[in-house]
Amino acid sequence: MTKRGTRRFFLGGTLACTVLFVGMTIDSHRQFGRLTHADQITPAVIQGKHVWHRKDCINCHTLLGEGAYYAPDLTKITEHRGTAYLQAFLKDPSKFYTEARDRRLMPNPKLTDAEIDEVIAFLGWVSKIDNQGWPPRPILVSGAAIPGTNVGAPAPHAASNEPSEQGEALFRTSPPGCFSCHSVSPGVNLAGPSLADIGERAGTRVKSPDYHGQATDAAGYIRESILHPSAYLVPGATYSAGGRSFMPDNFGTLLKAEQVDQLVAYLRTLQNSQ
């Protein structure tokens, strides 16, 4: 190609792309109102946007995934936290997080009550923007999205002597290693079925005509399932065969009686969270 040819390539290519880009921009303006629910941009939302900028929030946080990467994304924060919580948090973040425990702390933004309400209104409006369903799964400020998998927490210690708390710690300890086959998250079936609402399910199951075991109440059913797993078989080819559950049947010898009590106490607390 000659220099003249390459110049034509440059000018022609640039022009064509600019035309396409400007065309898409004009069309986007036709759609912004609908995609962003522009009719819901109230004076409070606009004021809240000013607070957002004035306090330089974007140089620590991200919003719609844009900003700095030092603090959590706030796109859906109003769906994850209630207004009362956010008001209290913005009044004094140090009541909720500490540097010693969480490594990072937000300095007090020193907002008035009105400014707090405005910035919450702004974030509420942002959370409803139609943005191709991003984020694909919730981005949490802290904690874990899959309860029972316990990815974040260190080796479990019970917070008190409460049997259910002792049982929860035991559930996450190996042995007995309950967590390696059972999640406590709805619909998350590992090698064994999910125990998400077992506290509730146990009560209905003992009364069902399919049940032929010895237990008469929820606690009894859970205890029996731990000690004699084949007394009732949850349907599923990967859970049992030939009338025998795949779950080990030696927990009666592995665990002390009081440990079984603790597990029962914990599992009974798992109620349907809906």
Partner 1 sequence: MRYRSQAVAYPYFAVALLLFGLQVAFGLLAAAKYLGPDPLLNVLPFDRVKEIHTNLLIVWVLTGFMGASYYLVPEESGAELWSPKLAYIALVVWVLMGLTAVIGYAFGWTEGNKLLEQPFPLKLVIVAVMLMFLANLLLTIRRAGRWTTTEAVLVAGLIFTALLYLPALLTFDNYTVSIFYRWWTVHLWVEGVWEMIQGALLAYLLIRLSGVDREVLEKWLYVIVGLTFISGIIGTAHHYYWVGVPQYWLPIGGFFSALEPLVFLGMAMYAYYAMRRSGLRHPNQLAIHWTIGSAVFSALGAGLLGLAHTWPAVNRWTHGTLITPMHGHAAFFGAYVMIVLAMITYALPGLTGRDETRLEGPVGIWAFWLMVGGMFGMTMAFATAGIAQTYLERIIGLGFLETQHKIQVHFLMLLATGLLFALGVALFLWDFFLGRGRPLPVPATEPRLAETAT
Q: For residues 107 and 242, which CB has a smaller minimum distance to partner 1 in the complex?
A: 107
Confirm if 96 and 84 have CB atoms less than 8 A apart: no
User: Shortest gap between Cβ of 201 and partner 1 (angstroms)?
Assistant: 24
User: Shortest gap between Cβ of 115 and partner 1 (angstroms)?
Assistant: 14
Q: For residues 3 and 256, which CB has a smaller minimum distance to partner 1 in the complex?
A: 3
Distance CA 62, CA 55 (A): 14
Q: What are 98's two structure tokens?
A: 């500490």
* Amino acid occupying residue 6: T
Q: For residues 150 and 230, which CB has a smaller minimum distance to partner 1 in the complex?
A: 150
Q: For residues 47 and 87, which CB has a smaller minimum distance to partner 1 in the complex?
A: 47
Among residues 226, 237, 230, which one has the least CA distance to residue 213?
A: 230
Confirm if 167 and 264 have CB atoms less than 8 A apart: yes
* Amino acid occupying residue 16: A
User: Shortest gap between Cβ of 8 and partner 1 (angstroms)?
Assistant: 9
Chain centre to alpha carbon of residue 198: 20
| Vertex 168 angle, CA 167 and 174, to 5° | 90
User: Shortest gap between Cβ of 52 and partner 1 (angstroms)?
Assistant: 7
Q: For residues 133 and 243, which CB has a smaller minimum distance to partner 1 in the complex?
A: 133
User: Shortest gap between Cβ of 169 and partner 1 (angstroms)?
Assistant: 19
Among residues 171, 131, 135, which one has the least CA distance to residue 153?
A: 171
Distance CA 52, CA 56 (A): 6
